[in-house]
Amino acid sequence: MYANPDSPPRSAVTVPQLHARKQSGEKIVVVTAYDASFALQVDAAGIDVVLVGDSLGNVVQGRTSTLPVTLEHMVYHTSIVARGLKHALLIADLPFMSYADRGRAYDAAMRLCGEAQAQMVKLEGAGWAVDVIAALTERDVPVCAHLGLTPQSVNKFGGYRVQGRDETRAAQLLADAKAVAAAGADLLVLECVPAALAERITREIAIPTIGIGAGPACDGQVLVLYDLLGISPGKRPRFSKDFLAGRDSIAAALSAYAHAVRSGEFPGPEHSY
Ligand SMILES: Nc1nc(=O)c2c([nH]1)NC[C@@H]1CN(c3ccc(C(=O)N[C@@H](CCC(=O)O)C(=O)O)cc3)CN21
Ligand SMILES: CC(C)C(=O)C(=O)O
Ligand SMILES: [Mg+2]
């Protein structure tokens, strides 16, 4: 289809609609996808947002971290996922070091939102990254921030551990959440933080929070698709759940996940810290 100034955004779900969910209390359901066939399944299940995560390094490429994932990989997977979507909003992860300064972030956003058709980019961290969020926001590129366990920092963390457990770190995380929101982020992913802290952050900032191992109080939830289907190799993180177990199709597993998030059944205490 050629450009038509009257045509609506590519997806049915829009950024302003996601903002409105914070007030309405209707949970935002997010899942990762990496190819067109799964994107079609996820879209048909009525999931709100699809994330092309750099977790593709782990689950598609068989690596032990997300650090080797390149912008080329992200552009390729984002472009093929985009072809499978009609309903869901599409977010793409900015890979390691692709947003190290304003200029690199602009170039990467051009590839992911221009060429590959993502509607929002996601980046990890606060501090220096707050300026990058402000830079993208000034150019009207929607941004999803990501705090807590930020997997691109694994070499600094020394492993994948729950973040914000002590008082000082919890206060820092709350301050970081306020800073990314003030810089213009549209959404905030909170990964592996105590449920009580995620609840407090969700209450104190104006943008929706999307939890993964962050308890039930977040405005939405995200899971890695292959964790949700029970096919990820190795030890499964505590926050994940196999929704295919006891069901007979991928479509049924995706619908069950969406329903469990919307009804507040998932995540339970056994998935939280
Ligand atoms: N398949 C997959 N799922 C993910 O959620 C995911 C990836 N890959 N790759 C990138 C990151 C890495 N992630 C991870 C990986 C492991 C844990 C984990 O094992 N956490 C411990 C916490 C231990 C603690 O501090 O108490 C756990 O038992 O849940 C958490 C997040 C999340 N992301
Ligand atoms: C787990 C989500 C939040 C992510 O960043 C990814 O899949 O890469
Ligand atoms: Mg990621």
In a domain, 23, yes or no: yes
pTM: 0.96
pLDDT tens digits, 244-259: 999 999 999 999 999 9
163 within ligand 1 shell (Cβ under 6 A) = no
In a domain, 152, yes or no: yes
Helices 195-204 and 167-182, interaxial angle, to 10°? 30
In a domain, 182, yes or no: yes
Number of separate domains in the chain: 1
Q: What span, in angstroms and rounded, lies between the C-alpha atoms of 206 and 96?
A: 27
In this prediction, residue 183 has a pLDDT band, given cuts at 50, 70 and 90, of very high
The pLDDT score that the predictor gives to residue 5 is 55
Domain that holds residue 39: 15-271
In a domain, 86, yes or no: yes
pLDDT tens digits, 7-57: 556 689 999 999 999 999 999 999 999 999 999 999 999 999 999 999 999
Q: What span, in angstroms and rounded, lies between the C-alpha atoms of 144 and 132?
A: 12
In a domain, 25, yes or no: yes
Averaged pLDDT for residues 169-189: 98
User: Cα of 189 to ligand 3 centre, how many Å?
Assistant: 10
User: Cα of 51 to ligand 2 centre, how many Å?
Assistant: 7
pLDDT at 2 exceeding the cut of 60: no
Query: 3-class secondary structure for 95-124?
Result: CCCCCCCHHHHHHHHHHHHHHCCCCEEEEE
pLDDT at 3 exceeding the cut of 60: no
In one-letter notation, the amino acid at residue 196 is A
227 within ligand 2 shell (Cβ under 6 A) = no
The pLDDT score that the predictor gives to residue 233 is 80
The pLDDT score that the predictor gives to residue 7 is 59
Q: Give the position, in ligand 1's atom list, of the atom nearest the Cα of 161.
A: 25
